[in-house]
Amino acid sequence: MSWSARLDAVAPFRVMSLLETAQAREADGHDVIHLEVGEPDFPTPAPIVAAGRRALDEGRTRYTPAAGLPALREAIAGHYARHFAAEVDPARIIVTPGASGALLLASQLLVERGDRVVMADPTYPCNRHFMALAGAEVEAVPVGPDSGWQLDAARLAGHWRSDTRLAMLATPSNPTGHMLDTPALAAVAETVAARGGHLLVDEIYQGLCYDLPPLSAAAIAPEAFVVNSFSKYFGMTGWRLGWLVAPEAAVEPLTRLAQNVFLAAPTPAQHAALAAFEPGCRDILEARREALGRRRDALLEGLASLGLAPDVPPQGAFYLWLDISRYSRDSEAFCRRLLEEENVAITPGTDFALQGGEHHVRIAFTTEIDRLEAAVERIGRFLGRQGVA
C-alpha cells in the first residue's frame, strides 16, 4: 500500500521503542531505572487536579472558543506580566492541544513549500518534522559547547539565505538543557528582523531553570511567535494543553487554522489549568523545580566520577547531553546494551542530532536522587566492561 510521500520526512522516535522494551523488562521482573522519557515522576499538582474534577462535576465539557477560554488566556497573559515583565495582550494567546498543536499552527502559518527554516542540531525532532510536513527545507545547524549548545546570532547570520523564511530556537533546549540569555536572544531576534524573517521560539521548558533566571522572547522580541506548554513546568503532560503567543496580525489566521485543525483544546484541561497560576500551586511548582536542580547536581557529580559529565552543564530543563565517543560510535546499540545488561534506560542521541547523534546520549534526571545514584553505579559497571574506543 502506498502512503503520502510527506511521511518520508518523519523519522521514528527511537526512544518510544526503547521505552516499550524497558516496560517489557519491568513486566518480566527486572528493576529498570527510567531515564529515557521527558516526564518527571511528580504527579500533576493537587490544585490543578481538583480544578479539573470540579470542571467535570459542573459539566464544563462543552466546546470553548477556538483560541481558548478567555479566562485562561487572561491568566497566561498575567503570568507573562508577573514573571517576565512582558505585556502580552490576552488576544494574542492561542490555547492549543499541547505544544504540538501550537507548533502545527505555527508551521502551517509561517512556511510553505520550498521555504528554508534554520534551527539548531541537536533539537527536539518534532521541530524538524513539523516544518518538513509543511513542505519547508530544514537547515539543521550543528551547535556545540563553543556556542553553549545554542543557535547564536553569528551562526544564524552565517546560514541565512535568500530563501530562508524562519529561524527556530528552543530555550531551554531539548536535548541539551541549555539556554540563551537575554542579550543572546535579543541578538538573534535582531538578526532575524534585519533579514525580514520570522522567529519561532520553543519555551516549553521555561521555568525549569537552575543557573539563569527564566526569560521569555515575548518580553524581548514582541514580533516573535512563542510556543509554550503546561506539560513540563506545570506538570500536566497527559492533559495535552499548550499555547502560542503570536503577533496581533497573526491571530485571525491562526484562529481560523485552529477552528479547522482541532476546533479547540480540551475543555476540562483548560479549566484545570486555571489553577496552575494560583499562588499555592506556584509554591508546589517551585519546590519541584528546586528538587530537579538537586537531582541535576547529584547526577552531574556522579557522572563526573565516571568522566562523563558534560563540559557545559545544562542551565534548564531536566536533561544531560553526554558524549560517549570514548566508548561507542553507535548510541542506539549503546543504549540497547545498557538496558539489557544493567536495566538503565536512556535515549540515543540519534533521536535528536542529525550530526553527532551516534556518539551522544540523553539522560533525563526525572527520578529520585537515590535512583540516579544507582543508575550511575550501573553505568559505571557497564562502562568498565566496554573499554575505551
Topology given in CATH for the domain delimited by 46-280: Aspartate Aminotransferase; domain 2 (3.40.640)
Give domain limits for the chain.
5-43+282-382, 46-280
Which 3 state secondary structure label does DSSP give 381? helix
Burial class (CB in 10 A: 0-12, 13-18, 19+), 327: middle
User: What are the grid coordinates assigned to 129, written together?
Assistant: 518534522
User: What are the grid coordinates assigned to 182, written together?
Assistant: 537575554
CA distances from 372 to 43, 103, 298 (A): 19, 32, 8
pLDDT tens per residue, range 18-60? 889 999 999 999 999 999 988 999 999 999 999 999 999 999 9
Q: Which of 215, 219, 117 is nearest to 168 (CA)?
A: 117
- DSSP notation for 14-77: HHHHHHHHHHHHHHTT---EE-SSS--SPPPPHHHHHHHHHHHHTT--SPPPTT--HHHHHHHH
pLDDT tens per residue, range 88-145? 999 999 999 999 999 999 999 999 999 999 999 999 999 999 999 999 999 999 999 9
pLDDT at 388: 54
Q: Is 164 in contact with 197 (CB distance < 8 Å)? A: yes
pLDDT tens per residue, range 148-191? 999 999 999 999 999 999 999 999 999 999 999 999 999 999 99
Do you know the residue count of the chain? 389
Which 3 state secondary structure label does DSSP give 369? helix
- For residue 172, is the peptide bond before it cis, meaning its omega torsion is within 30 degrees of 0? yes
| CATH number for the domain whose boundaries are 5-43+282-382 | 3.90.1150.10
Q: Which residues contact 381 (CB under 8 A, 6 or more apart)?
A: 342
Whether residue 334 is predicted with pLDDT greater than 50 in this model: the reply is yes
Q: Which of 193, 192, 169, 195 is nearest to 181 (CA)?
A: 169
Confidence band of 10 (pLDDT split at 50, 70, 90): confident
Separation CA 157–CA 169 (nearest Å): 14
pLDDT at 318: 97
Confidence band of 260 (pLDDT split at 50, 70, 90): very high
Confidence band of 212 (pLDDT split at 50, 70, 90): confident
Q: Is 269 in contact with 56 (CB distance < 8 Å)? A: no
Q: Give the start-end residues of each E strand in 161-234.
A: 164-170, 198-202, 225-229
Q: Which residues contact 87 (CB under 8 A, 6 or more apart)?
A: 80, 81
Alpha helices of the chain — where are they, by DSSP H? 14-27, 46-57, 70-84, 98-110, 125-133, 153-159, 182-194, 217-220, 248-261, 267-273, 279-305, 331-342, 369-384
Separation CA 183–CA 189 (nearest Å): 10
> What is residue 115's DSSP assignment?
-
Whether residue 389 is predicted with pLDDT greater than 50 in this model: the reply is no
pLDDT at 37: 86
